[in-house]
Amino acid sequence: MGTQTPRSTWGRWQMTSVERSKKNTARWIEWYLQRRDTAEFQKYQSEMLARNRNTDRFREMSRRQARLYAQRHPEKIKARNALTHALERGEIVRPLECGDCGNAPSPGRDGRTQIQAHHDDYSRPLEVRWLCRLCHAKLDRKY
């Protein structure tokens, strides 16, 4: 019989494929979070998006992803549509200030306020919290 290799030298092979996958995912997320706010990374992302945005393949993928999202989250789509129609009819008025921090962000390129609606409960589509982009992102990261 041959000698066995001690477990300490096995390295990554002693992990299951699920453990390796989780470890690799964690590494990728850490790498992305460290670089996503750098100007160089944002420039790279915008260049890649501009290069791929106008291809038929990209358009088809976008349509397919939108259909899948609508199939998986019909309650979200219904709530967003109901809110959009209420805003268009004037039943609800979008405020100019964030409901959490009180910040009044400058209007966007289209002249509209940058305050976003957040649904705490999709079964109540017209009950929303109006938040600035930063507060909305912080709140969504909690879930």
Distance between CA atoms of residues 43 and 86, nearest Å? 37
In this predicted model, what pLDDT tens digit does every residue of 15-59 receive, in sequence order? 677 787 888 888 888 888 888 888 888 888 888 888 877 788 888
Q: What is the pTM of this model?
A: 0.57
Mean per-residue pLDDT over the chain, rounded: 84
Distance between CA atoms of residues 68 and 137, nearest Å? 23
The two tokens of residue 18 are 């699920």
